[in-house]
Amino acid sequence: QYVISSTNETFIGQRTLLPVATPYSKDFPAPKFRSAVQADETGWTLEWSISWADLKTDPPADYDSWFGNFIVNRLGDIREVVSYSMTLGNNHNVEQFGFLKFLGAGDR
């Protein structure tokens, strides 16, 4: 799990689900993880990158699909949660994550 705030504060954690679910570990090493935030009175933007080595996996093949989710939590006076996949009350319901489809070489 990668968490990045509008002030570029970060949290990186890992959790094992099988064979037994474990709590998130904050000791997950991700030395090549990068994030950058730009904010003004109209909103904020985020750019981030994660290396395949940090994920401890090979890059996806052309047209592979992975499960994933992107979430925005607004915690001010007006509370709001927006996500790519509706996970019904808990952002950690990985069974309800959406598909991330990777393009092939030369696709746009």
The yes-or-no verdict on residue 25 having pLDDT over 90 is no
Looking at residue 34, its pLDDT comes to 92
63 confidence band (pLDDT: 50, 70, 90): very high
Q: What is the mean pLDDT of residues 48-73?
A: 87
pLDDT band at 91 (very low <50, low <70, confident <90, very high): confident
Q: What size, in residues, is the chain?
A: 108
- pTM, two decimal places: 0.67
What are the boundaries of each domain within the chain?
A: 1-56, 60-108
Q: How far apart are CA 63 and CA 89, in angstroms?
A: 30
The reported pLDDT for the residue numbered 82 is: 80
Q: Which two tokens stand for residue 59?
A: 């890059």
What type of residue sits at position 101? K
Residue 35 pLDDT: 92
Tokens of 41: 């009175």
